[in-house]
Structure 1
Amino acid sequence: MSGHPDHVRMPRGYLWLFRLGCPLLGFGLALVVKPLTRWMIETLDSAPGPLRLAAGIPTSWAIPVLVVIGIGAGCWLSHEAERDSLAVTVRPDGVIAAQRDTERYIQRSRIGAVFTDPEELVVLTPAGREILRSSATDLSKTQLTEAFRHHDYPWWGTRDPHEEHYRNWMDGDPDLDEGIHALLRTRQEALRSDNRAETERVHTQLQDEGIAVRDRGKKQQYRRISDHDTTTP
């Protein structure tokens, strides 16, 4: 185990794809906008206003204008992509997760399991309560594995140590009391309306009631959180 931290974040190449790709698209659009607009008018008898406007600009002007617009769009997209992407720092004493201008430190002694599920990074306490569940679609699974194993964390790879305990939620199931069903209904509505803040709030409430929940497609799955856990990866 090394004392040096390991950093896992979105590959820089992804960001350069935005920064270089958008200006190239702008350049290409400047070359084809006139024939494209002409074809649409001749074939469909109409063309969108922005295309008509761009087609009215001389090509010698359209190229630098659209390239500059592409540069601006590429810089903005790369900034937003980096801001929205999860960045993980694994240290001997704990883990730092940064996403959407928010940083969170998780002390090593609180961590009982770490895994991906399937495109989210999940950190559990020894009792099975979720400390972290964040989208990790932009992160290398190989780098995550190496970082957590390098510091001897309980890394489970793509396996949830509590997989066999999850059940599909059915409203009214007697296995759960009405208060839990009400929270799961609220969470379901928040998911449908893409209300991230409400989804996270109810997720925390459910854990306070001893229920862990995750999503599989359009279904919610739940399990009970035990007082202790003896699983090892």
Structure 2
Amino acid sequence: MPGKERSEVRGKAHGEVRGRTTELGHPWSDLLLLLVGTPLVGLLLGLSVPRLARWVSGSPVLPWRDGVEFLGRLDAPWQTGLFVAAGLVAGVLLVLTALSEDMRLKLTDERVRVEQDGRSRTFERADVSAVFLDGRQLVLLGTDSGQLVRGEPAPRAAALAEAFRAHGYPWQDADPHASLFRRWIPGTPDLPAEIHALLAARQAARERKAPRDARDLVDTVRGLGYVVRDEGAQQYWRPLAGA
């Protein structure tokens, strides 16, 4: 049995190729910056809080002046230590949140596994009709043109394109169905009332910063024959191919 081949995926992404398996995650440079830089910035901000508070307290239009001036007086060594500890903890929490929200990919010639928001999903190569980037988000479409996956991946664009093409996936330079999307206008007769209700619920989920709920509603809408995407604060829709 041949030994496992291992090499780094080109395109400056952190990836591993084992035989015919490619794993893609954070580029090493980005990972180092995230793991070291973010907590360091939090630590420095914590160290600077009293000094910054004293500096801004001289502004004539400063809101919450009493609170800012109070922070400026907290410059005892133990108080500075608390600020530093709080800034460091905040930086670490930001790193953990960023890592948990990023998409990780494992590709073979037969299937792709996507890890996102603590969930792992696997799709057969034969069930993927298109792969492309929509802005900074990676999108996989199914054979019915419905959205299988959408999210911001850790790897960079060049590494994504190279990896998917190397394993024979239909990488596209843009959404092949982009011209079919129409802006959602509540109450338009072009959509059934059930879809309007789901899109209204999804808009509310987006406004309250609940991305997982919004993604779950995308899956529900797809089951009824439609695809949803966002442009800024607006939702756009199209029917599934052949619907």
Instruction: Tell me the TM-score normalised to structure 1 length.
Output: 0.79
**Residue type of the partner of 1:12?**
W
Aligned match of 1:231 = none
Match of 2:114 among 94, 97, 104: 97
Distance between the aligned counterparts of 1:216 and 1:172, measured in 2? Answer: 20
Aligned match of 2:191 = 176
Q: Deviations over 1:131-162 (max 9, x none)?
A: 111223x43001100100111110003x0011
Deviation at 1:26, TM superposition (A): 2.9
Distance between the aligned counterparts of 1:150 and 1:221, measured in 2? Answer: 32
The 1:66–1:205 alpha-carbon spacing in structure 2 relative to 1, beyond 3 Å, is closer
**Residue type of the partner of 2:149?**
L
Aligned match of 1:56 = 76
**Residue type of the partner of 1:135?**
E
Distance between the aligned counterparts of 1:82 and 1:149, measured in 2? Answer: 26
Distance between the aligned counterparts of 1:128 and 1:27, measured in 2? Answer: 48
Paired residues for 1:1-233 under 5 Å: 3-21=19-37, 22-23=39-40, 26=43, 30=47, 36=52, 38-39=54-55, 47-53=68-74, 55-57=75-77, 72-136=89-153, 138-157=154-173, 159-227=174-242
User: Between Structure 1 and Structure 2, how many residues are aligned?
Assistant: 220
The 1:120–1:221 alpha-carbon spacing in structure 2 relative to 1, beyond 3 Å, is same
The 1:48–1:110 alpha-carbon spacing in structure 2 relative to 1, beyond 3 Å, is farther
The 1:88–1:49 alpha-carbon spacing in structure 2 relative to 1, beyond 3 Å, is farther
Query: Residues 215 and 221 of structure 1 are in contact (CA less than 8 Å); yes or no, is this contact kept in structure 2?
Result: yes
Name structure 1 gaps, 5 residues minimum: 229-233
Distance between the aligned counterparts of 2:193 and 2:49, measured in 1? Answer: 60
Query: Residues 46 and 86 of structure 2 are in contact (CA less than 8 Å); yes or no, is this contact kept in structure 1?
Result: no
The 1:38–1:48 alpha-carbon spacing in structure 2 relative to 1, beyond 3 Å, is closer
The 1:152–1:68 alpha-carbon spacing in structure 2 relative to 1, beyond 3 Å, is same
The 1:39–1:209 alpha-carbon spacing in structure 2 relative to 1, beyond 3 Å, is closer
The 1:227–1:65 alpha-carbon spacing in structure 2 relative to 1, beyond 3 Å, is same
Distance between the aligned counterparts of 1:27 and 1:34, measured in 2? Answer: 12
Name structure 2 gaps, 5 residues minimum: 1-17
Q: Deviations over 1:73-106 (max 9, x none)?
A: 4444333322221111111111111122221111
Root-mean-square deviation (CA, aligned residues, Å) is: 3.0
Distance between the aligned counterparts of 2:136 and 2:35, measured in 1? Answer: 25
The 1:102–1:166 alpha-carbon spacing in structure 2 relative to 1, beyond 3 Å, is same
Percent identity between matched residues is 28
Distance between the aligned counterparts of 2:49 and 2:235, measured in 1? Answer: 47
